[in-house]
């Protein structure tokens, strides 16, 4: 069984802002044949696409089946994040001097790096990696032995950057809920196919789990396997998107808060995944500031942000749609990453948005597997 507790927070709008904090976890029953609860409402335009009942072909995964009620980590209450970037040399000399070759992918976002193993970084270099990822948005490290270090090592490594996020339903390697497995490898599709059913394209811009009280910060996404061609990840720079706005609009947006919904994500996943705990809905500022670089970024995304607090629905829809349109049309502050064996992408979830492209066909053994290490950052704020 599950239940939630409602906690009041501040809000600039007329509606009370709330954070619904999980207190108990859902009962953990095998969910091969999902039976919707009585109040289940599948979003219009979407329909069930069952997951491969055998699971991915190469990554050993279980979902909530690995848990008993007593050993589920409950990591998602508020936590005090101190970003390791605050200990960095602003010049990043320890890190940059160790890199034989790097090249910006575009002027506004993305840098590709060769010849340095992330696994070998000193703590000082990690301190400098975090602000570099924040400034460039996306760092693409090629030829890495990162995932070869093993699950325990990945957990320890990621924990240096923040408390590791445990997804509310995401698949993870067996006994390691602190790592998230991203996969699509059967001809029956996945959560992503659920989302895109009935749509004209597969793009779904978001920041990972923006509905959490402490959304992710410096994030590591590592490729395990991918299609011969396709399955790229798109990234956009939400700091540049903020900078492009007029001062009048910037000032207005800085007075606003928006609701981010994890319950909606649970609904989308509900027919194909196992619920680990109830999703939460959380109010965050529409503009947030990086705690170390001081850069501001637009902090609403179409996957999880459902409304502006205090606005009537048409007003909220109009403003959100304007911001989404601005973010997503800005090809001059976007880039895309084509995955290779050994690619690790380090991105700052606070400052960029991203989307997978499901432009490749399934069947004949085609698969796309990645592992994500997802440290949680500070609660978004403008200060
Ligand atoms: Fe994502």
Distance CA(334)–CA(357), nearest Å, equals 14
Ligand 1 center from residue 369 Cα (angstroms): 13
Partners of 372 in beta bridges = 180, 221
The top-scoring range by mean pLDDT among 46-60, 223-237, 363-377 is 223-237
Ligand 1 center from residue 182 Cα (angstroms): 9
Ligand 1 center from residue 97 Cα (angstroms): 31
Percent of the chain residues topping a pLDDT of 90: 54
Least Cα distance to 109 among 301, 287, 337 occurs for 337
* pLDDT surpassing 90 at residue 12: no
pLDDT of 281 reads: 85
27 vs 242, higher pLDDT? 242
* pLDDT surpassing 70 at residue 92: yes
Ligand 1 center from residue 138 Cα (angstroms): 13
Mean pLDDT, the chain, whole residue set: 78
Looking from the CA of 105 toward its CB, the CA atoms found within 13 Å total 25
b/e burial code for range 336-351 (CB count within 10 A of at least 16 → b)? bbebeebbbbbbbbbb
Distance CA(147)–CA(371), nearest Å, equals 8
Ligand 1 center from residue 351 Cα (angstroms): 13
Ligand 1 center from residue 206 Cα (angstroms): 6
Least Cα distance to 299 among 281, 284, 315 occurs for 284
Ligand 1 center from residue 99 Cα (angstroms): 27
Q: Dihedral sign, CA of 287, 288, 293, 294?
A: positive
* pLDDT surpassing 70 at residue 99: yes
Backbone angles phi, psi at 62, to 5 degrees: -135, 160
What domains can be seen in the chain, in order of their start residue? 91-373 (3.60.130.10)
Residues within 5 Å of ion ligand 1 by Cβ?
208
State the DSSP H helix or E strand holding residue 235, giving kind and residue range, or none if neither.
strand 233-237
Ligand 1 center from residue 208 Cα (angstroms): 5
Ligand 1 center from residue 330 Cα (angstroms): 19
Ligand 1 center from residue 270 Cα (angstroms): 18
Ligand 1 center from residue 354 Cα (angstroms): 6
How many residues in the chain? Answer: 383
pLDDT of 19 reads: 38
Ligand 1 center from residue 207 Cα (angstroms): 6
Ligand 1 center from residue 36 Cα (angstroms): 25
Q: What is the pLDDT of residues 157-206, one digit of tens each?
A: 999 999 888 887 666 666 677 888 777 765 545 556 656 667 788 899 99
Q: What is the pLDDT of residues 276-318, one digit of tens each?
A: 666 788 999 999 999 999 999 999 999 999 999 999 999 999 9
For residues 378 and 231, the answer to whether their CB atoms sit within 8 Å is no
pLDDT of 45 reads: 29
Ligand 1 center from residue 39 Cα (angstroms): 28
For residues 288 and 239, the answer to whether their CB atoms sit within 8 Å is no
**Average pLDDT for 76-101:** 92
Ligand 1 center from residue 75 Cα (angstroms): 19
pLDDT of 111 reads: 98
Ligand 1 center from residue 71 Cα (angstroms): 26
220 vs 32, higher pLDDT? 220
Distance CA(4)–CA(25), nearest Å, equals 9
pLDDT of 121 reads: 98
Q: What is the pLDDT of residues 220-231, one digit of tens each?
A: 999 887 888 999
DSSP state of 85: G
pLDDT of 57 reads: 30
- Angle, CA of 78, 83 and 88, to the nearest 5°: 175
pLDDT of 48 reads: 31
Which residue carries 């989307």 as its tokens?
355
pLDDT of 29 reads: 30
**Average pLDDT for 25-51:** 32
Q: CA-based Rg of the chain, rounded to a whole angstrom?
A: 20
* pLDDT surpassing 70 at residue 51: no
Distance CA(347)–CA(135), nearest Å, equals 10
pLDDT of 5 reads: 35
Ligand 1 center from residue 14 Cα (angstroms): 32
pLDDT of 252 reads: 98
**Average pLDDT for 248-273:** 79
- Both tokens assigned to 348: 């700052």
pLDDT of 149 reads: 85
Ligand 1 center from residue 355 Cα (angstroms): 6
Ligand 1 center from residue 94 Cα (angstroms): 30
Distance CA(368)–CA(365), nearest Å, equals 10
Q: What is the pLDDT of residues 120-170, one digit of tens each?
A: 999 999 999 999 999 999 999 999 999 888 888 898 999 999 988 888 766
- Angle, CA of 185, 139 and 143, to the nearest 5°: 65
The top-scoring range by mean pLDDT among 24-28, 71-75, 107-111, 187-191 is 107-111
Burial class (CB in 10 A: 0-12, 13-18, 19+), 266: buried
pTM, to two decimals? 0.81
For residues 178 and 155, the answer to whether their CB atoms sit within 8 Å is yes
pLDDT of 56 reads: 34
**Average pLDDT for 68-97:** 78
List Cβ neighbours of 309 (8 Å cut-off, separation of 6 or more). 11, 12, 13, 15, 17, 256, 257, 258, 259, 283
* pLDDT surpassing 50 at residue 11: no
Percent of the chain residues topping a pLDDT of 70: 71
pLDDT of 17 reads: 38
* pLDDT surpassing 90 at residue 368: no
Distance CA(268)–CA(137), nearest Å, equals 28
């Amino acid at each position: 069984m599950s239940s939630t507790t409602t906690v009041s927070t501040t809000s600039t709008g007329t509606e009370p802002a709330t954070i619904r904090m999980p207190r108990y976890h859902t009962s953990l029953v095998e969910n091969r044949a999902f039976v919707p609860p009585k109040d289940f409402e599948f979003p219009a335009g979407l329909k069930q696409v069952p997951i491969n009942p055998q699971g991915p072909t190469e990554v050993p995964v279980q979902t909530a089946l690995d848990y008993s009620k007593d050993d589920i980590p409950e990591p998602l209450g508020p936590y005090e994040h101190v970003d390791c970037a605050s200990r960095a040399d602003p010049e990043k000399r320890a890190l940059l001097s160790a890199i034989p070759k790097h090249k910006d992918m575009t002027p506004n976002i993305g840098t590709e790096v060769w010849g340095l193993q992330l696994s070998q970084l000193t703590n000082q270099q990690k301190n400098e990696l975090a602000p570099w990822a924040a400034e460039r948005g996306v760092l693409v490290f090629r030829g890495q032995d990162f995932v070869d270090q093993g699950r325990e090592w990945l957990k320890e490594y990621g924990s240096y950057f923040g408390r590791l996020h445990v997804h509310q339903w995401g698949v993870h390697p067996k006994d390691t809920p602190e790592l998230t497995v991203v996969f699509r490898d059967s001809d029956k599709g996945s959560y992503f196919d659920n989302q895109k059913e009935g749509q004209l394209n597969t793009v779904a811009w978001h920041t990972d789990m923006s509905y959490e009280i402490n959304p992710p910060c410096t994030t590591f996404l590592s490729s395990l396997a991918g299609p011969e061609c396709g399955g790229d990840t798109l990234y956009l720079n939400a700091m540049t998107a903020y900078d492009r706005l007029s001062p009048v609009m910037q000032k207005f947006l800085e007075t606003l808060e928006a609701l981010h919904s994890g319950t909606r994500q649970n609904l989308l996943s509900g027919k194909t995944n196992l619920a680990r705990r109830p999703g939460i809905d959380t109010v965050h500022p529409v503009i947030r500031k990086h705690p170390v670089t001081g850069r501001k970024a637009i902090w609403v995304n179409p996957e999880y942000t459902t409304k502006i607090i205090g606005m009537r629905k048409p007003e909220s829809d109009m403003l959100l749609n304007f911001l989404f349109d601005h973010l997503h049309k800005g090809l001059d502050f976007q880039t895309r990453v084509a995955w290779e064996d050994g690619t690790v992408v380090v991105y700052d979830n606070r400052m960029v948005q991203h989307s997978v492209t499901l432009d490749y066909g399934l069947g004949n053994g085609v698969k796309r597997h990645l592992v994500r290490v997802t440290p949680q950052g500070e609660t978004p704020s403008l200060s």
